[in-house]
Amino acid sequence: MSSAPPPTSYTGQPVAPVAPVATAVPVTNYQTAPVAPMAPAPMQTAPQVAQEYAAARETHHPNELRIYSHSNFFYWWPVWVTGYIMALATYIDGHKVLIGDTEVWMHRSKNVGVLFTLTFFLVILITNVSLRGLASVVALLALAFGALLLAYLGLWEDVLNWMGRVSIYMNMGFYVFFSSLVLFVWAVSVFIYDRLTYWRVTPGQLTQDTVIGGAQKSYDTRGMVFEKRRQDLFRHWIMGFGSGDIEISTTGARRETFSIPNVLFVDAKLNAAQKLIAMQPDETTPS
């Protein structure tokens, strides 16, 4: 006999579904941090754009040489250097002199003004009269011969006595003011004005760039000749620290010859330019 309960009889009525028990869902409150307003991108000035363009161009052409041509005013640095030296000497070994109602600081020696005047005169003479190659050698020999001739004739004492009677007095204010004016114009000329136009040498190409206006003029370097002109002994070696002039001759249907005057460190620039024009454009190595 089985002990299981008897089966329940089905009545035929549907059974109502049991509703699910609702459970409380915790609500989480999210706090958003305040968002700082985005600052507008700074506008780039024209010099910044030019610097980025030059950096990108140098990255694209790692083998590049820039040649800057300077004006003759570059050789005027002895004027403002000598002027500041004379101003310092006047301040150290000078005394006050009453001129009218104003006291000025003036050096005791009459030779200070003479030396500054001679320096000023020689700079004007050297920067306007070019003595290249053989002419500079002849000038040196002429000066040496004149000095020996005066010594042989016994005229040096008379010349020195005559120069000793020359008296030139300048106060410290003149030295400082005049030297500052020359220095300002010299700095603007060398570091700003002379760099507005330059020559850019890359493998297979020579380009003349102009900063203002963005003008460019390119030349093919095949058959191009770079030549260093005879240097002026006084201007290029004594006052220019090894500067010089570069003359470039192109080939082809339209042959041109142009000069780049007063290039600093001309020997190093010329050697680097000759190596670049001997290379082919596909020989450049990426950076």
The answer to the question of residue 269 being in a domain is yes
In a domain, 131, yes or no: no
Give phi and psi for 209, each to the nearest 5.
-105, 140
The token pair at 246 is 């570069």
For range 88-103, the mean pLDDT: 87
Cα 186-188-191 angle, rounded to 5 deg: 100
Q: What would the mean pLDDT of 205-227 be, rounded to a whole number?
A: 81
Rounded to whole angstroms, the Cα distance separating 123 from 239 reads: 9
Structural domain boundaries, residue 242: 65-70+198-280
83, pLDDT greater than 60: yes
Q: How far apart are CA 117 and CA 111, in angstroms?
A: 10
Least confident span in 68-72, 90-94, 141-145, 270-274: 141-145
**Cβ–Cβ < 8 Å for 244, 231:** yes
Structure token pair of residue 244: 């010089």
In a domain, 208, yes or no: yes
| Widest pairwise Cα distance in the chain | 166
pLDDT on residue 2: 46
Judged against a pLDDT cut of 60, whether residue 28 lies above it is answered with no
pLDDT score of 187:
95
Does any domain span residue 151? Answer: no
Confidence grade of residue 192 (pLDDT, cut at 50, 70, 90)? very high
- Give the model's pLDDT for residue 48: 57
Looking at the structure of the chain, the number of domains it has is 1
Task: Tell me the C-alpha distance between 279 and 231, whole Å.
Answer: 28
Pairwise CA distance, residues 174 & 168, whole Å = 13
Note the pLDDT of residue 1. 45
Domain assignment present for residue 14? The answer is no
Tokens of 226: 């770079």
**HSE-up of residue 77 (Cα within 13 Å, Cβ side):** 12
Provide the strand spans (E) within the chain: 65-68, 94-99, 102-107, 197-202, 205-210, 216-220, 225-228, 244-249, 257-263
Quote the DSSP letter at residue 29. Answer: -
User: CB within 8 A of 243, min separation 6: which ones?
Assistant: 70, 74, 231, 235, 236, 262, 263, 264, 265, 266
Residue 215, domain member (yes or no): yes
pLDDT exceeds 80 at position 215: no
In this predicted structure, what is the pLDDT of residue 58?
A: 44
Average pLDDT, the chain: 76
Q: Kindly report whether the global pTM for this prediction surpasses the value 0.85.
A: no
* Neighbour order of strands in the sheet with 257-263: 225-228, 244-249, 257-263
Whether residue 140 lies inside any domain: the answer is no
Work out the number of other CB atoms within 10 angstroms of the CB of residue 232: 25
Mean pLDDT of 106-127: 86
Q: How confident is the model at residue 76 (pLDDT cuts 50, 70, 90)?
A: very high
Task: Decide if 200 contacts 62 (C-beta within 8 A).
Answer: no
What pLDDT score was predicted for residue 205?
84
Q: Report yes or no: 230 and 133 within 8 Å, Cβ to Cβ.
A: yes
Query: What's the pLDDT at 287?
Result: 42
182 lies in some domain: no
Do 100 and 53 meet the contact criterion of CB atoms below 8 Å apart?
no
Percentages (nearest 5) of helix, strand, coil residues in the chain? 45, 20, 35
C-alpha distances in angstroms, 35 versus 30, 40, 41, 42, 271? 15, 15, 17, 20, 59
User: pLDDT tens digits for 132-164?
Assistant: 666 666 776 777 777 777 777 777 667 767 766
Per-residue pLDDT band at 57 (split at 50, 70, 90):
very low
The Cα-based distances of 75 to 57, 71, 101, 250, 262 in angstroms read 32, 8, 39, 30, 9
User: What is the bridge-based pairing of β-strands 225-228 and 197-202?
Assistant: unpaired
